[in-house]
Chains A and B, each alone.
Chain A
């Protein structure tokens, strides 16, 4: 069944268009920055973009920062929201279940397809951004941030100003990829749950996005500080801490924990609902 779901995912034009757009946006940004050499000043605009001019090897991280706020959650919510509701809407769900495909198995296969999609999206963005960054900004350091060290084996500067070797950058980027993938899985779990409730894939995707926007609003609200640590988007940007020296683990750990709870909670709810639901679509 997993194989079938992956084939379905791969044969959907939508999958490829969304991946293309996700990878295209950072390339577009890189071209503008490279042509004008006008990066936003540190602290403004997407994270890390200001450091990119000094070394292209930081661009994967910057690219992830570009797609993280909107593009990536939208893409993941659309795929996750479509997983069950899409089958219900097209009427194929009843035939899959009458095949028979067990309900739990179907849900698991959908989840695995979703994980594969999310991971490929994040990794593809990072990989295309790496090659874009190297070819537009070069991999060798020019004189970096004020006070940063410039020796030949230092490829880039971390946000705290000290040097990072290429191997360190690669490792930290991998950490960021893992963190972002897990955060997106949190979004996916919410959308998947809504997908088992409604027969409209659009409704499920938009519902998940509405949850995210609510969370974003509450995060900025001082009066909502009591719920702040439990909001799904609270630690979304914690992966930037991978690029500090030394790495600040506190928020990264909390981010993983919060997303873990959301994933378990909503997958559990999806399963409980879907396994006992009357399929009337």
Chain B
């Protein structure tokens, strides 16, 4: 669906995107994860033909971008750096304008399509108030509605849950999963680990313009070969598993043993009560922190920096 080769973007001397090789497959829910200022938005803009790459190739839906971007954009719904709309018009009027722009959608079905899309994003009952009176979350939903208006094959969403409350985030996540099940590939750019972890099947981690890791979420969150045991009988367990325990905190043991079933029966057989036992997985946070530096919004003093 999306493939880039050596994608690079410079603004003057500033290297914003550096040799990125994206690979998004059909049916993916792809999470494009990285700290603020790591070049995510610039990549998204290049995919949509808004920003021109300094070097490298982009293929979206089998067509070269930006050369034939006009042919693929009708099949893409996008949300880039927050939603935007004409503030003095209602949400419906905004959607009607955006639908009529470019290769316009059918005029006859416009009203019903807009109504259905608004309903889909949870704005079905919206009145005619101008968008400038919308809350942040409502605007976000309206932006999503604009992206969904043409039932796209590919959704490119940049921070789609910004400004939404937990309820709203959940709703949007369910909506995206539902769309994905119906065949839409979702490319989601975010700096929120939990959002990506809960939604995505595949993850690309970007840091300072470089794609530092790209893999299936399952692979990234591989088992560590250790088990986590919670028990009120910590001392007895420690005696029993002597040498296997890597970390012991109050009631929580990290055991170097991947076989939780055997471990459990052994503990119970020796009279150790187990309240919880599970195989340890790497969290996405561990993976991200291990491959990325601090975000570019942090500015540290460098050696020799005398200002």
A residues with CB within 8 A of B = 1, 3-4, 7-8, 11-13, 90-92, 94-102, 105, 276, 278-280
B89: CB under 8 A from chain A? yes
Contact of B85 among A3, A92, A101, A276 (CB under 8 A): A92
Q: Mark B20-59, 1 if CB is under 8 A from A, else 0.
A: 0000000000000000000000000100111110000000
Pairs A–B under 8 Å by Cβ, sample size 14: A8-B86, A8-B97, A12-B88, A92-B84, A94-B84, A95-B98, A97-B49, A99-B102, A100-B70, A100-B73, A100-B74, A100-B103, A280-B45, A280-B51
Residues of B within 8 A of A91 (CB): 81-84
How many B residues face the partner with a CB closer than 8 A?
30
Are A11 and B50 CB-contacts (below 8 A) given A4-B97, A91-B84, A95-B98? Answer: no
Residues of B within 8 A of A1 (CB): 101-102
- Complex formed: what's the CA distance from A97 to B66 in Å? 12
**A-B CB proximity, top 6 nearest:** A91-B84, A100-B73, A99-B102, A101-B102, A279-B50, A278-B51
Chief secondary structure at chain B's binding surface: loop
* Contact of B80 with A102 in the complex, beta carbons under 8 Å: no
* Contact of A4 with B100 in the complex, beta carbons under 8 Å: yes
Most buried by A among B89, B93, B97: B97
Most buried by A among B73, B81, B101: B101
Q: Mark B235-253, 1 if CB is under 8 A from A, else 0.
A: 0000000000000000000
- Complex formed: what's the CA distance from A8 to B85 in Å? 12
Report the minimum CB–CB distance from B145 to chain A (whole Å).
12
Contact of B52 among A3, A11, A276 (CB under 8 A): A276
- Complex formed: what's the CA distance from A99 to B75 in Å? 9
Residues of B within 8 A of A7 (CB): 97, 100
CB-based nearest B residue for A91:
B84
Report the minimum CB–CB distance from A222 to chain B (whole Å).
44
* Contact of B102 with A96 in the complex, beta carbons under 8 Å: yes
Given contacts A98-B49, A100-B102, A278-B52, 17 further A-B contacts (CB under 8 A): A11-B88, A90-B86, A90-B87, A91-B82, A94-B48, A95-B80, A95-B84, A96-B101, A96-B102, A98-B48, A98-B73, A99-B103, A100-B103, A101-B101, A278-B45, A279-B45, A280-B50
B78: CB under 8 A from chain A? yes
Residues of A within 8 A of B52 (CB): 276, 278
Most buried by A among B48, B87, B100, B102: B102
Q: Mark B181-212, 1 if CB is under 8 A from A, else 0.
A: 00000000000000000000000000000000
Report the minimum CB–CB distance from A107 to chain B (whole Å).
14
B254: CB under 8 A from chain A? no
* Contact of A95 with B146 in the complex, beta carbons under 8 Å: yes
